[in-house]
Amino acid sequence: MADQAPLEPGYFRLPAGEGERGRLLGSYSAAAGKYFFPQRLQCPITEEPVEEVELSPEGTLYSWTWVSMPFMGNMQMGDGKGHAVGQIDLPEGVRIQSVIQGQRDDFEIGMRMGLEFVPVKKKGSRQLMTFCFAPVKEESK
């Protein structure tokens, strides 16, 4: 695995090894019984302490749209003429705003989406990564 690091620390944990999934990093407020993303210093509802948690790597596509410009200038993502962004509902009750990988005809409201990581730039020998979601391919039975 190449030397990779998050573009901005504190938002996600990259997979540590082959077959492992990375996770978004959020917060849980026991006082409010709610999860939050990104991480919070305190509960925005109760102002009580929160704990750091890893959020589920899969969710459901709530909404999406097509943006007619390249993602962060990266012509390798999508067709180079645009990219999708969407809102993904995680099982914890958190709605994530994210770039989603694929082409215009690939998305359907309610479909399963999985967390993935994509390179955005290099800093020395280190590849800086960000998160996105992509449709989960259903296994054939």
Output the pLDDT for position 74: 53
With bands split at pLDDT 50, 70 and 90, how would you rate the model's confidence at 80?
Answer: low
Which residue, chain included where needed, has tokens 């899969």? 58
Does pLDDT of 44 surpass 70? Answer: yes
Tens digit of pLDDT for each residue in 83-110? 899 999 999 999 999 999 998 899 999 9
Q: Exposed, middle or buried by CB within 10 Å (0-12, 13-18, 19+), for 38?
A: middle
